[in-house]
Chain A
Amino acid sequence: EAGVTQFPSHSVIEKGQTVTLRCDPISGHDNLYWYRRVMGKEIKFLLHFVKESKQDESGMPNNRFLAERTGGTYSTLKVQPAELEDSGVYFCASSEGANYGYTFGSGTRLTVV
């Protein structure tokens, strides 16, 4: 079984540019999550999809962040325009149901310079 796949693994962009992160969940997992870890801090929730619907986006920092999951398969997280404080590791995870543990992807390390 393929795991959760994230692309790219690393991204370095300049402040003000746009970056799009992609996540392919485990096949059949309706629940898809985005989390972020900024330097020195704990991993924090960004949002949760059930299929193509946003179930909870309470963790999204501001309107520069846009997540989509068209068709209920893969998801993208776009940051536009990127700011220095957006640097960190962005993790995607998927699960079969609400009370299960997640399977995490390997993350995208975003550096905004």
Chain B
Amino acid sequence: QKEVEQNSGPLSVPEGAIASLNCTYSDRGSQSFFWYRQYSGKSPELIMSIYSNGDKEDGRFTAQLNKASQYVSLLIRDSQPSDSATYLCAVKNGNNFNKFYFGSGTKLNVKP
């Protein structure tokens, strides 16, 4: 079983719609959760971090965490074509706060 699971996609949404990206993790002791965006051929760029259950909003982005279900998601409101990228879920577990476990990423296509 992988530490972090993501649907590889592609997820296609029309411009202006809400894109919902999901991630599950296996280690119940995981403490910190991050979403990175990676454009093709570029470095991963940190979008959001979340540490406690519930929602965290930053502009058009909302991260949601449910530790009981071991589930973290990222919502992108008013999706733009420039949001088209691969979104990586990254988790730090309870044993080693210095190591990320990454999902394989979900490719998002926002169609104009």
Contact = CB atoms under 8 A, between A and B. Distances in A.
A, B in one complex: yes
Interface of A: 4, 31, 33, 35, 41-45, 48, 55-56, 58-59, 91, 98-99, 101-107
Q: Would you call the interface of chain B mostly helix, strand, loop, or mixed?
A: loop
B47 to A, nearest CB: 9
B46 A105 contact: no
> Chain B: interface residue count, which band?
20 to 34
Given A42-B4, A42-B105, A104 B100 contact: no
Please provide the 9 A-B residue pairs with the shortest distance between their CB atoms, ordered closest to farther: A104-B43, A43-B102, A101-B46, A42-B104, A98-B97, A106-B43, A42-B102, A104-B44, A45-B99
Q: Which of B36, B46, B105 neighbours the largest number of chain A CB atoms within 10 Å of its CB?
A: B46
Contact of A102 (B4, B96, B100): B100
Nearest to A104: B43
B97 A99 contact: yes
Interface of B: 2, 4, 31-32, 34, 36, 42-46, 49, 51, 88, 92, 96-105
A23 B104 CA distance: 24
Given A101-B34, A106-B43, A44 B98 contact: no
From B36, B96, B97, B98, name the one whose CB has the most chain A CB atoms within 10 angstroms: B98
Contacts of A45: 99-101
B98 A56 contact: yes
A91 to B, nearest CB: 7
A107 B38 CA distance: 12
B34 A91 contact: no
Contacts of B100: 35, 43, 45, 102
